[in-house]
Amino acid sequence: MDIRFNEKDKLFVIETDSTSYVIAVLGEEGLLGHLYYGDKIQYEDAPYLLNIPQNQNTPTPAMRDRSSFLDIYPFEYTSNNVGDYRKSGIEITDSNGHSSLQLCYESHAIYLGKEKLEGLPATFGTDKDSMTLEIAVKDSVVGLRAVLYYSIFEGLDAVIRSVKLINDSDKEIFIDKVMSMTMDMDQDGYQLLTLYGSWARERLMDFRDIGFGDTSIESFRGESSHQFQPFMALVQNGDSQDTGKVYGFSFVYSGNFEAGVNKSQFDNLRVYMGIGSKNFRWKLRPYDSFQAPEVVLTYSGAGLGKMTRTLHDLYRNHLIRSRYKDMERPILINNWEATYFDFDSDKLLAIAKEAKKSGIEMLVMDDGWFGERNDDNSSLGDWYVNEDKLKGGLKKLVDEVNAIGMKFGIWMEPEMISPRSRLYDEHPDWAIRVPDREPCRSRNQYVLDITREEVRDYIYSRIKAILESCNIEYLKWDMNRQLSDLGSMGLSRDAQGELSHRYMLAVYDLQERLVTDFPNLLLENCSGGGARFDAGMLYYSPQIWCSDDTDAIERLKIQEGTALIFPLSTMGAHVSDCPNHTVGRTTPFKTRGDVALAGTFGYELDITRIPESDREDIPRQVAQYHKYNHLVRGGDYYRIASYQRNHSFDAYMLVSKDKKEALVTYVQVEASPNPARKVIKLPGLVPDATYQIEDSDIEVKGSTLEKVGIALPILPGDYQSKLIHLLQKNS
Ligand code: DGJ
């Protein structure tokens, strides 16, 4: 890990273990050129990159044919309306109503460590394990300065980029768009990989060709969304796990975003990622600044697998702060699919008692315990216990659950207000809405305008009061609708375009208060399933509910897409009852347990009513969780086969960091008659070490497992699963 400035040739060279990233300061004007990002090259050879003709033209002081240069040269960050006709990463309106912007080098700094981003989630590091480059570029006509940040971490092939805009003038400047990064590069046979979805089928993988013009994704729903994950990758060899170049881009932000690739007339690409510019307009007051969220860039010269493992390590070690990240999470049982709104304390206690017998460790009471909430048509905002359901109150129930020997967790949806609620009767103006318009209802609820401090303070006071009222050790923070009718009574006419981003800052502020005041609370974020499963939220909660689809087979696809970026220990995954409530499928209880094992693991069923044989199997699943959870939390993840693409079976493997142990999960989704043999290769082991396959007398070298592989068993029927545990001999 190193960042150096070559004074003579005016080059910045950022080096990670196996990548180089090179930026040039060009000509007298000091435009910033993007020279290289990819496999590591010798530092001494960085000036050679200047000899690779980037185009036929050079920036000339005579200004002749200037656009021929600006419109083709690979820039490090874009300008606007000055002769580069490609898509801009930044758009502003200055105090004269003009939009031209040309950012030129002003100064730079290189230092150990990494600064926090005020009010935003961000990766973190110390002086010992991280380094940062700041390059200040400026348009002196407008008086706008942009500071481009680049941080790297020891042992990780990732570059973290963000942008801060500073108004150095005494006039207002409107920011109409600000991408956190842009990067110009050659098209070298890349396809675009993104994760798309919907409710109950989040983060499915989509590969598409990059055509001329724009190939992009976005969310303007006020959250990262079910529909697109704020992530994309340029991949050379499709889904290959170990060949081809891969550039990954993951946004550490949970609100509106846009990201994509713009292919120019000369076949080259401009990659961009940042806050969504639709409905966005930020008034940057004189001498004020605006910090855009950060983007994690990863480069792998060896397929998707390396990108995934880099992101897992980065997020585990430099993004998730919770003390739970390195701990086994309590195995929980959640009553949502067990009872929906139809429960009382007797029912919950019955579930807790039965769960305790099987080794389950925590009861989570989901939606429906407050106000008059007997369905989803009312009471959001009325965070007062419904004593018709919880007889004797919340503390009594929690004490009784604790007395059984179980922990207690609770569900809340703090950002919402039901039109049928006491809170709405008192404060109809607290909903996000446009005056004189009836806002769009979704799940019969509105979104609270938490950008207003009094609203935020009120909601936080209610969360705090509930959490302090008894021994609550876990909170599921849900969000079940997306933003619309953007209008805030708290913002002036010319600041309405700030609402969506301010909303996200308000969510972050609330969760920051929460994790500061309750450091021992296990927080799980959730949004109608997995609509806010993003890197931003992981800064606050070590786990996020992955999807409302708990069907083991659908989960194979959802968890594959999620694990492409996020560590397995962050994926909320539960065993539920069958027929599955979302897709109606019946799968073996064992398979449900094996698939949920790849996440946080828990149950979402009425344990007092499931078949006896399933109930009897729970202690075995619990023991399995304790046996393998260290691999799920800390191991290296290898995707071996994808049901999403082969429509037949799924396989993935976890290898401990010391490579002494590995676990393969195999799910035979479809049985076939008289099948061909299936052999899967197992990478990531020590080539010379001997591994014993547990419950067999097979002993074989790591290199043979990698080159030849193991034969998968033929299992009796559809939806069957098998775990294969390998242990290094004499270790
Ligand atoms: C959506 C969540 O994803 C579910 O798990 C459940 O908590 C419901 N909301 C409750 O309304």
How far is 559 from 374, CA to CA, in rounded Å?
A: 32
Alpha-carbon span 537 to 548, nearest angstrom:
18
Q: Which two tokens stand for residue 320?
A: 């998730």
Q: Is the pLDDT of residue 441 over 60?
A: yes
Q: How many helices (H) and strands (E) does the chain have?
A: 14, 39
- Residues of the chain above pLDDT 70, percent: 98
- What is the model's pLDDT at position 69? 84
Residue minimizing CA distance to atom 6 of ligand 1: 336
Residue 366 Cβ contacting ligand 1 at under 6 Å: yes
**C-alpha to C-alpha distance for 564 and 598, rounded to whole angstroms:** 13
Q: Which residues contact 403 (CB under 8 A, 6 or more apart)?
A: none
Which residues are bridge partners to 251 per DSSP? 295
Q: Which residues contact 446 (CB under 8 A, 6 or more apart)?
A: 416, 417, 418, 419, 424, 431, 432, 433, 439
What pLDDT, on the 0 to 100 scale, is given for residue 540? 98
- Give the model's pLDDT for residue 691: 98
**Ligand 1 center to residue 28 CA distance, Å?**
58
Indicate whether residue 528 lines ligand 1 (CB < 6 A): yes
Predicted confidence at residue 59, as pLDDT, reads 57
Q: Whose CA is nearest to atom 3 of ligand 1?
A: 529
Q: State the average pLDDT for the chain.
A: 96
In the predicted structure, residue 2 carries a pLDDT above the cut 80: yes
DSSP code for 489: T
Say how many Å lie between the CA of residue 343 and the centre of ligand 1. 15
Report the catalytic residues.
478, 548
CA–centroid distance, 364 to ligand 1, in Å, is: 12
| 336 Cβ closer than 6 Å to some ligand 1 atom | yes
Tokens 């604790």 identify what position?
402
Question: Does residue 227 surpass a pLDDT of 80?
Answer: yes
Each residue of 145-178: pLDDT tens digit? Answer: 999 999 999 999 999 999 999 999 999 999 999 9
Looking at residue 363, its pLDDT comes to: 98
Helix (H) or strand (E) holding 613: helix 612-634
pLDDT of residue 63: 65
Q: How far apart are CA 90 and CA 74, in angstroms?
A: 16
The answer to whether the CB of 367 is under 6 A from ligand 1 is yes
CA dihedral 37, 41, 43, 47 (to 10 degrees): -70
Q: Look up residue 273 and give its two tokens.
A: 């990622």
* Protein residue with least CA distance to atom 10, ligand 1: 367
- Evaluate: CB of 75 within 6 angstroms of ligand 1: no
Q: What percent of the chain has pLDDT over 90?
A: 96
CA dist 171 to 339, 425, 480, 496, 644, Å?
Answer: 58, 42, 40, 19, 54
Residue 65 banded pLDDT, cuts 50, 70, 90? confident
Predicted confidence (pLDDT) at residue 339 exceeds the cutoff of 90: yes
Q: Which of 339, 526, 527 to mutate to test the pocket of ligand 1 (most atoms within 8 A of CB)?
A: 526
Q: Would you state the pLDDT for residue 28?
A: 85
**Interval 42-63: pLDDT, tens:** 999 999 998 876 555 455 566 6
The reported pTM is 0.98
For range 13-19, the mean pLDDT: 98
Query: 70, 100 in Cβ contact below 8 A?
Result: no
> Which whole number is the average pLDDT over 21-27?
94
Report how far ligand 1's centroid is from the alpha carbon of 527 (Å).
Answer: 7
Partners of 410 in the β-ladder: 365, 475
- Side-chain half-sphere of 473: how many Cα atoms within 13 Å? 15
Q: What is the pLDDT of residue 730?
A: 82
Reduced to 3 states (helix: H, G, I; strand: E, B; else coil), residue 468 is helix
Average pLDDT over residues 23-42: 94
Q: Could you tell me if the CB of 451 is within 6 A of ligand 1?
A: no
CA–CA gap between residue 3 and residue 43 (Å, rounded): 10
pLDDT tens-digit map of 567-616: 999 999 999 999 999 999 999 999 999 999 999 999 999 999 999 999 99
Residue scoring higher pLDDT (50 or 333): 333
Q: Which of 377, 378, 411 to mutate to test the pocket of ligand 1 (most atoms within 8 A of CB)?
A: 411
The reply to whether ligand 1 has any atom less than 6 angstroms from the CB of 546 is no
Give residue 61's pLDDT.
60
How far apart, in whole angstroms, are the C-alpha atoms of residue 37 and residue 246? 11
- How far apart are the C-alpha atoms of 581 and 577, rounded to whole Å? 8
